[in-house]
Amino acid sequence: MKIIAVIGAGTMGNGIAHTFAQNGFTVKLIDISEKSLDKGMATIATNLDRMVAKGTITAADKTKTITNIITYTEMEDGVVGADLVVEAATENVDLKLAIFKELNTLCSDKTILATNTSSISITQIAAVVNHPERVIGMHFMNPVPVMQLVEIIRGYTTSDEVTKTIMALSEKLQKTPVEVHDYPGFVANRILMPMLNEAIETLYNKVAGVYEIDTVMKLGMGHPMGPLQLADFIGLDVCLAILNVMYDGFKNPKYAPCPLLVNMVRAGKLGVKSGAGFYDYSQSKKAEKISEQFI
């Protein structure tokens, strides 16, 4: 594989594009908004600058990585000639199905189609394309350039050949791929999201405050970031969407999102990206400090 198309220039999309480009692949980064593409490329440049400052990469590596990325606002132009398409759009099933229906008409039958979904069924997505055996999940962790894990999710019809190809490709990105099967939440979020939800329930029930809950989990359990701060970093809207997918999929009340989480999302308090969640990020430097812990 040489040419990788990435759909979506948001947090996950620009991180995935960064990672492929840094490892020598030609990347076609696609988004319907030129503004989003500019913001995504600026984020990549900033993260590369941090890596240069820390001595992780050289200035020449940064230049080469940026050069390896080409941006597009038209899907048709971006996916043509791609060996692999990685969809990293918003975690919305209708949007993802629409994108894959379009990819079905634009891409060769031999093009592998991957989704970065963190919870939506790979089998459901694959059902809207010809040759569903070529559809697979590549669930990268945030921040993508530094997190080692990639969950490789096999849909019901995903072929052994495609799975082996994507596992090997992930290793070329200097990641550790782990093969899992297609059930709501997969492994990472099936375990993580109930923990975050329980931390929110603990706050909702006034057992302890935000700082106290996070401190217990950091100092007592050795977590690098408390669960409420982590929820802010992920995005409370994303957490809510994943919990809803799991609740709908399993019909088990233990996955039902806490009312406090629902209300915060309704109020627009989404975490770092909105400037406020369980913590206040109204000053941009506060948000930058969180990113700097990782990149």
From 14, 36, 68, 118, the catalytic residue: 118
CATH of domain 190-289: 1.10.1040.50
Determine whether the annotation assigns residue 271 to a binding site: no
CATH architecture of 3-181: 3-Layer(aba) Sandwich (3.40)
> Where in the chain do CATH 1.10.1040.50 domains reside?
190-289
Is 65 known to sit in a ligand binding site?
no
84-139 pLDDT tens trace: 999 999 889 999 999 999 999 999 999 999 999 999 999 999 999 999 999 999 99
Can you give the pTM of this predicted structure?
0.90
Residues carrying CATH 3.40.50.720, the chain: 3-181
- Virtual torsion, Cα 141, 294, 170, 152, nearest 10 deg: -20
pLDDT attached to residue 283? 74
pLDDT at res. 282: 85
**Which residue would you say has higher pLDDT here, 291 or 102?**
102
The question of whether 284 is a catalytic residue gets the answer: no
Query: Of 151, 170, 197, 274, which is the active-site residue?
Result: 151
List, for residues 23-81, the tens digit of each pLDDT value. 999 999 999 999 999 999 999 999 999 999 999 999 999 999 999 999 999 999 999 99
3-state SS track over 255-292: HCCCHHHHHHHHCCCCEHHHCECCCECCCHHHHHHHHH
Task: Measure the CA–CA gap between 14 and 116, rounded to whole angstroms.
Answer: 12
The reply to whether 81 sits in an annotated binding site is: no
Cβ–Cβ under 8 Å, residues 10 and 40 = yes
User: What's residue 295's pLDDT?
Assistant: 44
Is 1 one of the annotated binding-site residues? no
Q: What percent of the chain has pLDDT above 90?
A: 93
Catalytic (active site) residue 189:
yes
Predicted local distance difference test score (pLDDT) of residue 288: 52
Instruction: Choose, from 18, 139, 170, 197, the residue flagged as catalytic.
Output: 139
Tens digits of per-residue pLDDT, 200-239?
Answer: 999 999 999 999 999 999 999 999 999 999 999 999 999 9
- Nearest Cα to Cα of residue 139 among 122, 160, 156: 122
Under DSSP, the state recorded for 133 is G
